[in-house]
Structure 1
Amino acid sequence: MKIVKLILCALFGLMFINAGLDKFLHYMPMPKDPMSAEMIKAGEAFGTIKWLMPLVGFIEILGGLLFIFPKTRALGAIVILPVMVGIVIHNVVYMPSGLSIAGVMLLINLWMIGDNWKKYQAMVS
């Protein structure tokens, strides 16, 4: 089970590092499927806030790096959780086809939060 967790956490972290780097370097191709007018409008709205996507990209890179290493995984799971929730909500509203992947990613994130729950006890008590 330990090797499964190690592999899942490495892949999870690498996916977020990749997504974060793409916010700065723009190397991933745009989807070929036509986007809905509502999704285009939301993307344009996010684009008007110049600092938002670099901030999300930085959080994705930082959270992904922290998530990979067992010693910092508890912090990485908390850092990446708000982004993960945003991804799931985005998929529910705009792209239900991506919900299966986003749901699995959220479950991995929640699993690591549960797995490290004792480390968070000092913050909540």
Structure 2
Amino acid sequence: MKKLPSTAAVLLGLGFITFGLNHFLNFMPAGGPTEEGSAKAMFFGAIVPTGFLTFVKIFEITGGLLVAIPKTRNIGLLILGPIIINILAINILIIGGGAVFQPPVIVISVLSAYLLFAAKNKFLGLLGD
């Protein structure tokens, strides 16, 4: 049973490393066309040219590397936590139309929730007494 968290962590880490590196290396095609004036177009029109998306992608790669290494897994989860929440928020609130049920969103949500649950005793200490 100890192998399951390690497998989940490696899969989650590889996902974030892959999608983070894709931002810089462009080895996978970008999503489909975006309707001009849509919430999605305006959102990405703001975060891409400002460099904010690059900033996030650096943290995705860093968090992915840390979560894949057993000794630094929990630090990696702390870094990736806000990114995962934002991925869910963007898919639910901005993209909409069932985007939250896309396989990559489901996979990262389930893997991260499982890893958080598997290490819950370590994270409960962050809540104080």
TM-aligned CA deviation for residue 81 of structure 1: 0.8
If asked which structure has higher relative contact order (CA below 8 Å, sep 6+), I would say 2
Counterpart CA distance in 1 for 2:107 and 2:97 is 14
**Residue correspondences, number:** 123
The superposition leaves residues 57-112 of structure 1 with CA deviations (integer Å, 9 ceiling, x where unpaired) of 11101110111122211111111011111111111130544423313322321221
Counterpart CA distance in 1 for 2:69 and 2:48 is 32
> Which shows bigger deviation, 114-123 or 85-94?
114-123
- Are 1:7 and 2:15 counterparts? no
SS in structure 2 opposite 1:34?
coil
1:117 pairs with one of 120, 126, 129: 120
* Matching residue of 1:106: 109
> Structure 1: 5+ residue runs without aligned partners?
none
> Structure 2: 5+ residue runs without aligned partners?
none
> Which shows bigger deviation, 115-124 or 80-89?
115-124
TM-aligned CA deviation for residue 8 of structure 1: 2.1
Counterpart CA distance in 2 for 1:95 and 1:21 is 25
1:26-45 equivalent positions in 2, closer than 5 A: 26-31=26-31, 33-37=32-36, 38=38, 39-45=40-46
Q: Is the 8 A contact 1:78 1:113 kept in 2?
A: no
SS in structure 2 opposite 1:48?
coil
The superposition leaves residues 1-43 of structure 1 with CA deviations (integer Å, 9 ceiling, x where unpaired) of 3333322221111010011112222222123x33233122211
Q: Is the 8 A contact 1:63 1:80 kept in 2?
A: yes
TM-aligned CA deviation for residue 122 of structure 1: 4.0
Identity of aligned residues (%): 26
Q: Does the C-alpha gap of structure 1 residues 95 and 2 become closer, same or farther in structure 2, counting only changes over 3 Å?
A: farther
- Are 1:57 and 2:57 counterparts? yes
Tell me how large the CA RMSD over aligned residues is: 2.0
* Matching residue of 1:91: 91
